[in-house]
Amino acid sequence: MAFPPHKTCRICSKPLTLHEQYSGPICSHWRCRWRHLEDQLRAHRREAAQVLGVSGAESFPITVVPWRTFRSVPLAPERRQEFAEFLADLVREMADLGDAADAAPSVLAEPETAARDPAHGAALLAQVCGACGGFCCYYGGTRHAFLDRETLQRVSQEQPAAVAPDIAARYLAQLPPRHCEGSCVYHTESGCALPRRMRARICNAYECRGLKDARQNSMTASSARAFVVVRHDHSGRAQDWGAAEP
């Protein structure tokens, strides 16, 4: 039987329990675990910078985003039919409510996130957002792309000449031949197949913790750069995104 190589925590130097000794050089306290993770991320950033031949690795803020592996498959006819029936139900709701469905433009308007982004940060944020491969899009699989009556109403208001059934047809016309298995019907390997203005509000407004961190860093930095680490089930891979000075 091999003896555990660690007796004390590498961070706080406190004695490790027998279980902790076999788990690694860190105790179970969250502060030590967090410090250990930060050390690993910084080391990973240095290694990636050396491989890429990038100098000044410390100037690349570390951003951690989630990750989920997807497989591209044909959009099944039953998924297409189910989605068509869902859209038909929304159209009926709009017709039944009539004028009562009208909402103030301030309620239906899409969030303009781009306006608050520095010019040099917009491209970086788009790359950070796409680095996870559509982790948040997965939840749109059982929620019909998060579409609701208010979204369809907003789209119809942008083109007043369009009648409700035509709105449903427009959404059906945007369905891709292939999508990411188990995910949203519009989720493809190259991103969302649905034009931004036709997406549900949450799809344009939601930001994971990693994207929020990247946005905050881009607003305080003179250049757009980040070291992106995607994580899932305690495993990870790193991506390094950089941009020239604006």
pLDDT, tens digit only, all 246 positions of the chain: 455 677 899 999 999 998 888 888 899 999 999 899 888 888 888 888 888 888 888 888 888 888 888 999 999 999 999 999 999 999 999 888 775 555 444 444 555 554 455 555 777 888 888 888 899 999 999 999 999 999 999 998 887 665 666 899 999 999 999 999 999 999 999 999 999 999 999 999 999 988 898 888 877 765 667 788 887 654 445 555 543 333
- Cα–Cα dist 222/245, whole Å: 7
CB 192 within 8 A of CB 130: no
Cα separation of 215 and 162, whole Å?
37
pLDDT at residue number 236: 47
Q: What is the pLDDT of residue 203?
A: 95
Count CB atoms within 10 A of the CB of residue 210.
23
How far is the C-alpha of 176 from the C-alpha of 240, rounded, in Å? 30
What is each CA distance from 135 to 55, 122, 132, in whole angstroms?
Answer: 31, 20, 6
Token pair, residue 116, equals: 């608050």
What are the helix and strand counts (H, E) for the chain? 9, 7
What is the side-by-side order of every strand in the sheet holding 62-66? Answer: 62-66, 225-232, 235-242
- Please give the Cα distance from 71 to 180 (Å, whole number): 5
Longest dimension (CA), the chain: 78
CA distances from 220 to 110, 118, 121, 123 (A): 25, 9, 10, 16
- Single pTM value for the model: 0.76
